[in-house]
Structures are given as C-alpha cells and as structure tokens.
C-alpha cells in the first residue's frame, strides 16, 4: 500500500509495533511495502473526510496556533462537543446535570491511561491490587492498564450467545475483584462487530454500580453502525443507572474513526465535572493543550451538515462492504457461514482461521502466511488471556480481522491474493 512507507520508517531506531515487524519481514523476503495490502488497523491514511480537510485549510483562526489556557481543550470545540454528545447520545444538555464534556487532545488511549492513574490515587489498603475487567475478544487495554499496575481479568464475549457478554460472569468477576475494580465496556468497539444488547449493558453497569466499581466506556465506534440500526447507548444507560455515591466513570469517544483522521488525536471525554477536573490536572503534568488548529477545524466541521452527511455515507459504505467481503469469503475461499462474522458495528469483519493453520491456539501462523501473500490482516483479538479464564468462558478458535474501510478494489485484491495462496477454508 503506497502510504505505508511514508508512515513506517523509523530510521535506525527500534520500532516495537507488531505490524511494523510483519512489514519488515515482508520486505526481508523481497516484498515491497508499497504493494502490501494493509488491513490490520482501522486506517487508510488517505480517506480523511474531504470537507474536514478543507475546513482545516480555510477556517482556522489565527489564535488557534497558540496555547490554550483551558485544560479542557479549545473552548470552541468543547462547546460544540457538549451539544454533539448530548444530541448523539440522547442526553439532557450538560448544564446543571451530573456530567460535562472535555476534549481528548492526544488520543483516547492517553485519556484511558490518565483515568487509570486517577483511580490509583484514591486511598486503598496496602495489600489491595487494582483489578481491571476487560472484554475478550477486545482491544489493547492490557497495554494501557498493566503498566500502571492493574491486574487484568477478562470476561468473555460468548460465541454461543451471539458474541454477547454474560452478565452473571461479570458479576462473579466483580465479586472477586474487590472494591478497587475498573470495569471496561466497549459495546460497539469490539473486534466481533457485534452490538451488545441494551439489557446486557444495563445489567453489567448495574452490577458495577452495586459493587461501587469504576466504569470506563470505550465508545470509539459508537457512530459506526449499520444504517437504520441505532447502537446500544451505553453512556445513556450509565447516566440512568448511576447514583450520587457511584464510583468515578469516564466515556471516551474518538472522532478519528468516524471522519478518518486518527492522527488528529481528537475526541470527547464525558464524565462528572470533578472527574474531568482531576483528569485535566493529570494531563497538565505532562503537557499543555495541543493540536489546537485541528480542534478549531473540528469545531467548525461538527456544526456543518456535511459532517452528518459524510457519516451517513460512511455507514452505508461499511455495511455494503461487509456484505461484499463476507460473500467473497464464502464463495471464493470456501469459508462456511459460521466462520465469518460480518457484524453490524465498527469498521472490521472478523473470520475464523482454518484449523490447519492454527498453532497453539493462535492466529499468528496464519497472519504470517497472509503477509507472505501480500496481505496484512489484524489479530482477531488484542486482549491476551490474563490468568485463568472464568469457568463459563469458552475459548473460540483463532480469528483474524479485516479493516473494511479500504476501497473496494483494494479489498478485492487482498481476497484474490489469499485465494491464490490457498489460505481459504
């Protein structure tokens, strides 16, 4: 893929990103990174919303090139985000309510790390080990929370329950986690592409409230769903279930996923005002506000009709592409229906690795074969298995995922290469 070289090169310095290792191996065997079809992360590098790029070029006020004295982001964007979060999550306006909104200025991953640090500053017994409960399959919450000292425990998205979480399993894990637990939810931002049922989300959040556990909602793909199928609104459910004595909570929502501008690092942080103030103090320990020209452009863009139009078209494109890729996996590569999970949310399609390519329960060998064929898929889950699985957990076979945001001809070329390499079912 042509842009890959432009964003990969680290010179003589080490690069520990797993995908970088795969690309280097591909090059070492004679491949050209410009020819590799990259389908691992949700990134195209070239598909930024055209109207947003034009806004950045034409509508950035001169003061946006300096510092901001507000630790909550550029005031213009924060005001727009407060209305945007209220509208898209069907919440009352933030004034006089138990929540407010700030700008995530250096990526939601950094905000999650700051939230983890904030929770660790609360008084605790000397022998207490903070525990984070994370969904599996899931994203790299271990990479964020384990370095802070959290012990990770996973709760399963069960294939025999349509990749839904089990409320009883989460309750059991909360029982054993103690009073310092952090519960992570990602009802749409999960590799299966499944939208968690509202009653299950409510049951899980209710259990967290009853245990006085902190809650982190990762809403990265809340806006990316099949047209006409509104996603489960975990933030609203949380607002309805919380009490005055609830533990701290945070909802993160990146804007990069829905407008193809991941590198901007801009998103929304929704939490109680006191929590946002504490997070701002932690963020200021390492940096001032940043990316203010980008924030100014995003503020103008979100208030335009073009932003909603782009998002609607993106949803339609993803829905169409999921069906098209799933059909080719069935027809041309022989995958049975139960092995392919197109999903209705996020920007990925996930499918099961044929048993003959599975080594030690992992998809790693299959991914290496795909890279040798000129295609780099993502791992089916970025959540390692931390400790023994819960008794009810059933570990599925290995999976990989494909980012469906690439142009159709790129995806067709990737599937053609996998077919020619004999990497079908």
| Burial call 46-55: b when 16+ CB within 10 Å, e when fewer | eebbebbeeb
Residue 383 placed within a domain: yes
pLDDT at 47: 92
pLDDT at 92: 85
pLDDT at 389: 42
What CATH number should be reported for the domain holding residue 115? 3.40.640.10
Domain carrying residue 380: 2-49+307-420
Query: Which positions ≥6 away from 255 have C-beta within 8 Å?
Result: 261, 264, 266, 267, 268, 298, 302
pLDDT at 244: 81
Q: Judge whether 155 and 133 are in contact, CB under 8 Å.
A: yes
- Read off the pLDDT of residues 284-319 as tens digits, 9 standing for 90 and up: 998 888 899 999 999 999 999 999 999 999 999 999
pLDDT at 179: 76
Q: How confident is the model at residue 94 (pLDDT cuts 50, 70, 90)?
A: low
Q: How many CB atoms lie within 10 A of CB 251?
A: 25
pLDDT at 288: 86
Stretch 249-257: mean pLDDT: 97
Same domain, 279 and 333: no
User: What DSSP designation does 371 have?
Assistant: H
Q: Judge whether 95 and 313 are in contact, CB under 8 Å.
A: no
> How would you classify the pairing of strands 37-39 and 249-254?
unpaired
The total of structural domains in the chain comes to 2
Coil, helix or strand for 376?
strand
pLDDT at 383: 82
Packing angle between helix 292-302 and helix 75-88, nearest 10 degrees?
40
Q: Which helix (H) or strand (E) holds 423?
A: none
Same domain, 45 and 82: no
- Residue among 242, 239, 187, 182 at smallest CA distance from 214: 182
Q: What is the DSSP string of 83-103?
A: HHHHHHTT---STTSS-EEEE
Does the pTM surpass 0.75? The reply is yes
Residue 425 placed within a domain: no
pLDDT at 2: 61
> How far, in Å, CA of 108 to CA of 104, rounded?
6
pLDDT above 90 as % of the chain: 81
User: Is the pLDDT assigned to residue 282 strictly greater than 70?
Assistant: yes
Same domain, 300 and 311: no
User: Is the pLDDT assigned to residue 3 strictly greater than 70?
Assistant: no
- Residue among 405, 400, 408 at smallest CA distance from 335: 400
Residue 30 placed within a domain: yes
Same domain, 369 and 387: yes
> How far, in Å, CA of 191 to CA of 195, rounded?
11
Residue 189 placed within a domain: yes
- Read off the pLDDT of residues 204-247 as tens digits, 9 standing for 90 and up: 999 999 999 999 999 999 999 999 999 999 999 999 998 888 89
Residue 359 placed within a domain: yes
Q: How high is the mean pLDDT of the chain?
A: 92
Stretch 260-267: mean pLDDT: 96
11 vs 363, higher pLDDT: 363
Domain boundary among 284, 304, 324: 304
Residue 57 placed within a domain: no
Residue 161 placed within a domain: yes
pLDDT at 249: 97
Same domain, 296 and 316: no
User: Is the pLDDT assigned to residue 390 strictly greater than 80?
Assistant: no
Beta strand ranges found along 61-218 (DSSP E): 100-104, 131-136, 151-158, 164-165, 181-185, 214-218
Q: How confident is the model at residue 125 (pLDDT cuts 50, 70, 90)?
A: low
What CATH number should be reported for the domain holding residue 324? 3.90.1150.10
Same domain, 271 and 368: no
- Read off the pLDDT of residues 333-387 as tens digits, 9 standing for 90 and up: 999 999 999 999 999 999 999 999 999 889 999 999 999 999 999 999 988 654 4
- Residue among 254, 198, 298, 235 at smallest CA distance from 89: 235
């Amino acid at each position: 893929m042509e842009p890959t070289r432009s964003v990969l090169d680290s010179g003589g310095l080490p690069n520990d990103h797993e995908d970088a290792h795969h690309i280097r191996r591909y090059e070492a065997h004679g491949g050209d990174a410009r020819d590799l079809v990259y389908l691992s992360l949700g990134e195209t590098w070239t598909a930024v919303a055209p109207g947003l790029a034009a806004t950045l070029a034409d509508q950035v006020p001169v003061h946006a090139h300096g510092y901001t004295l507000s630790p909550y982001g550029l005031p213009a964007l924060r005001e727009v985000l407060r209305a945007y979060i209220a509208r898209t999550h069907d919440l009352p306006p933030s004034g006089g309510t138990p929540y407010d909104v700030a700008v995530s200025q250096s990526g939601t991953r950094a905000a999650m790390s700051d939230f983890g640090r904030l929770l660790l500053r609360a008084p605790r017994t000397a022998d207490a080990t903070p525990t984070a409960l994370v969904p599996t399959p899931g994203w790299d919450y271990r990479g964020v929370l384990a370095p802070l000292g959290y012990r990770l425990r996973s709760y399963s998205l069960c294939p025999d329950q349509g990749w839904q979480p089990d409320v009883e399993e989460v309750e059991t894990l909360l029982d054993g986690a103690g009073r310092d637990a952090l519960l992570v939810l990602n009802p749409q931002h999960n590799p299966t592409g499944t939208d968690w049922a509202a009653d299950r989300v409510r049951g899980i959040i209710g259990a967290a409230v009853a245990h006085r556990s902190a809650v982190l909602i990762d809403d990265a793909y809340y806006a990316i769903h099949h047209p006409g199928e509104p996603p489960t609104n975990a933030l609203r459910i949380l607002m309805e279930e919380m009490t005055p004595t609830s533990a701290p909570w945070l909802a993160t929502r990146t804007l990069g996923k829905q407008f193809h501008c991941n590198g901007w690092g801009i998103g929304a942080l929704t939490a109680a005002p006191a929590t946002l103030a504490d997070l701002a103090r932690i963020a200021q320990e390492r940096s001032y506000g940043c990316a203010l020209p980008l924030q100014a452009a995003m503020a103008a863009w979100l208030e335009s009709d073009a932003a909603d139009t782009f998002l609607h078209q993106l949803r339609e494109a993803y829905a169409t592409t999921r069906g098209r890729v799933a059909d080719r996996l069935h027809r041309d590569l022989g995958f049975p229906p139960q092995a392919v999970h197109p999903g209705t949310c996020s920007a990925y399609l996930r499918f099961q690795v044929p048993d003959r390519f599975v080594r030690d329960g992992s998809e790693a060998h299959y991914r290496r074969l795909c890279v040798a064929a000129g295609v780099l898929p993502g791992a089916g889950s970025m959540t390692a298995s931390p400790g023994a699985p819960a008794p009810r957990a059933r570990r599925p076979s290995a999976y990989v995922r494909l980012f469906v945001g690439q142009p159709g001809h790129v995806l067709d070329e990737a599937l053609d290469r996998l077919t020619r390499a004999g990497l079908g079912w």
